[in-house]
Amino acid sequence: MTVRTADAASFTTIRPGFLSREHIVAKPGFNRWLVPPAALAIHLCIGMAYGLSVFWMPLSRALSVGAPAPAACPDMSIATALFTTTCDWRVSDLVWVFSIGIVMLGLSAALFGGWLERAGPRKAGIAAAFCWGGGFLIGALGVFLHQLWLVWLGMGLIGGIGLGLGYISPVSTLIKWFPDRRGMATGMAIMGFGGGAMIGSPLADTLIKSFRTTDTAGVWQTLALMGLGYILFMLGGAFGYRVPPAGWKPEGWTSPASKNPMIASGHVHLDDAHRTVQFWLLWAVLCLNVSAGIGVLALASPMLQEIFGGALIGQPGVGFAGLDGPQKAQIAAIAAGFVGLLSLFNILGRFFWASMSDRIGRKVTYATFFALGCALYAAAPWAAHLGSQALFVAFFCVILSMYGGGFATIPAYLADVFGTQFVGAIHGRLLTAWSTAGIVGPVVVTKIREFQAASGVQGADLYGRTLYVLAGFLAAGFVANLLIRPLAPRWFMSEADVAAAQAGLVSPTASKGPLPDGPGIGRGGFSVGAALAWALVGLPILWGVWITLSKALILFR
């Protein structure tokens, strides 16, 4: 008994230290380019949130696999759907998983952002791994038992907490490792969130087909396998996190704050950030940009089909309603290629625009998003009336690149305005704008479309009003961004307060800089370790890009 007690005591002493922020302060010789692939490993997993729709159709026939008709229950209520074991689920009941997850992303990011700054990215990354991957495992159990409430709980509620923790876990760390390239660093990580579905969706589709039999839809097995894989991959990323010593900066780098008034030289405390007008202007900027972009994503496939109809398969003049079943299947495949192409530009835009913001500034970058996006939304109905599919697709590829770019640029914008000390937690609170937009955008565009369709509007006119409303969102965002000004000096912490905050995060011993006779911290480019780390995240990305481009080629045949 004594031995067990001693072992338990040792465990409680060592374990917290091993996971603590103090334990992961970089040692001399550490290469800062090892941190982005660690962040990508987590974001590529949680990015599957955008690809959950791949499960909805097979789950809607989970009880009637191989049967000629679904096991439907007319007029089934939500309460009945949550607990039934005899009725197939409706797609409308299943899509709530995504909505719950996005809402929980914003709430958990806001709630746990302060804890993340104190505990460090490793603890947050591990918690995210078990919440996100564990949510898939609970969802698999729900599918196996045919209990929808378990799917909502696992993949929506608990998985959504994993989304929030995983999303913000690398932000503050990357900004502090790359003060000279804030936009590029966060763009690399957040690019992974956009790319998660590009990898996860085809993988899930392949697994479902492999596990499918006459008795099972193959979904619970797929969820269980992917959940375990996500836990392992995300744990690898979490254990790869390191934080720089307090006050560290790249050799030879000086802050551009003296040259650019939009870049703060001080730090705003987490408790004060939301009291500023700038915080709420940035909240509006993110919310309006996301509302417009996510609205397009929600209706991209039906929009292309209903606007161009038979023209997509060489039959101009034939509307969508005039097509037969096989023809509708053809244009549905083309629309799927369109959605894949939009996803790819969403991903590429995250890295391109965030990196560009390092050169032209965050405020100018967002002004470009809103001005150019507004013009493209307003011009899209014109392209539709012209019947120019290429122009229409090109407009929306650029729009979606700026939608993704907005996500990747906002952490650097926050660091410029509020400083870097609490930027991760401030970013977490700002992500409530995403939760809001995840509801506002799809609801607005869906309701407008339904009103137009009920009025008998068809073809290119069906989405005209919707696109003009989205252009209005971006015009309002342009004004909000224009109003953002540097913070008054009274909002910034004193040097003593900053030193005290840093001392509370990392012990004085751990905060020391590089040893006089050792290599510096953060230096280095290519190394075997860095090459291996980048290969582990780069190869899945390249596979996803290849699959996406293969599907998108149908647009150009």
Query: What is the rounded average pLDDT of the residues 4-28?
Result: 60
Q: How far is residue 263's CA from residue 463's CA, in Å, rounded to a whole number?
A: 40
pLDDT of residue 522: 63
Q: Is the pLDDT of residue 4 over 50?
A: no
| Residues ≥6 apart with Cβ < 8 Å to 344 | 198, 545, 548, 549, 552
pLDDT of residue 53: 83
Q: Which two tokens stand for residue 243?
A: 């934080």
Tell me the sheet residues that pair with 28.
Answer: none
What is the tens place of the pLDDT at every residue in 421-455?
Answer: 899 999 999 999 988 988 888 888 878 877 877 88
pLDDT of residue 72: 79
517 vs 423, higher pLDDT: 423
pLDDT of residue 517: 32
Query: What is the rounded average pLDDT of the residues 337-364?
Result: 91
Q: Is the pLDDT of residue 538 over 80?
A: yes
pLDDT of residue 314: 80
What is the tens place of the pLDDT at every residue in 91-103?
Answer: 888 988 988 998 8
3-state helix, strand, coil in the chain (%, to 5): 75, 0, 25
pLDDT of residue 2: 37
Q: Residue 429's closest CA among 291, 292, 242, 287?
A: 287
pLDDT of residue 226: 97
Residue 362's pLDDT band (cuts 50, 70, 90): very high
pLDDT of residue 308: 84
Q: Residue 293's closest CA among 429, 179, 442?
A: 442
Q: Is the pLDDT of residue 3 over 50?
A: no
Q: How far is residue 349's CA from residue 190's CA, in Å, rounded to a whole number?
A: 10
Counting residues of the chain whose pLDDT is more than 90, the rounded percentage is 46
Q: Which two tokens stand for residue 369?
A: 């998003």
pLDDT of residue 385: 85
Q: Is the pLDDT of residue 507 over 70?
A: no
Query: What is the rounded average pLDDT of the residues 61-90?
Result: 85
Q: Is the pLDDT of residue 549 over 80?
A: yes
Q: Is the pLDDT of residue 78 over 90?
A: no
Q: Is the pLDDT of residue 503 over 80?
A: no
Residue 73's pLDDT band (cuts 50, 70, 90): confident
Q: Is the pLDDT of residue 404 over 50?
A: yes
The pTM assigned to this predicted structure is 0.86
Residue 520's pLDDT band (cuts 50, 70, 90): low
Q: How far is residue 116's CA from residue 125's CA, in Å, rounded to a whole number?
A: 9
DSSP string, 411-428: HHHHHHHH-STTHHHHHH
pLDDT of residue 516: 36
**How many CA atoms are closer than 13 Å to the CA of 412, on its beta-carbon side?**
36
Tell me the sheet residues that pair with 268.
Answer: 492
Q: Is the pLDDT of residue 519 over 60?
A: no
308 vs 239, higher pLDDT: 239
pLDDT of residue 500: 80
Residue 258's pLDDT band (cuts 50, 70, 90): low
**Amino acid at the residue 306:** E
Query: What is the rounded average pLDDT of the residues 119-140?
Result: 96
Residue 515's pLDDT band (cuts 50, 70, 90): very low
What is the tens place of the pLDDT at every residue in 319-328?
Answer: 777 777 788 7
Count of CB atoms situated within 10 Å of the CB of 224: 18
**336-356: buried (b, 16+ CB within 10 Å) or exposed (e) per residue?**
bbbbbbbbbbbbbbbbbbbbb
267 vs 456, higher pLDDT: 267
What is the tens place of the pLDDT at every residue in 168-188?
Answer: 999 889 998 998 899 998 998
* H helix or E strand, kind and range, residue 229: helix 219-239
Residue 525's pLDDT band (cuts 50, 70, 90): low
Query: In whole numbers, what is the pLDDT of the chain averaged over residues?
Result: 86
DSSP at 147 = -
Query: What is the rounded average pLDDT of the residues 284-299?
Result: 87
Count of CB atoms situated within 10 Å of the CB of 368: 18
pLDDT of residue 121: 93
Q: Residue 267's closest CA among 418, 154, 426?
A: 418
Cα 461-462-465 angle, rounded to 5 deg: 80
Q: How far is residue 394's CA from residue 381's CA, in Å, rounded to a whole number?
A: 13
Query: What is the rounded average pLDDT of the residues 471-475?
Result: 94
Report all structural domains of the chain as residue ranges with CATH numbers, in order of start: 25-247+534-552 (1.20.1250.20), 261-493 (1.20.1250.20)
What is the tens place of the pLDDT at every residue in 206-254?
Answer: 999 999 998 889 999 999 999 999 999 999 999 999 999 887 888 888 8
Count of CB atoms situated within 10 Å of the CB of 409: 31
Torsion-angle region of residue 147: left (phi > 0), alpha (psi -120 to 50) or beta?
beta
Residue 341's pLDDT band (cuts 50, 70, 90): confident
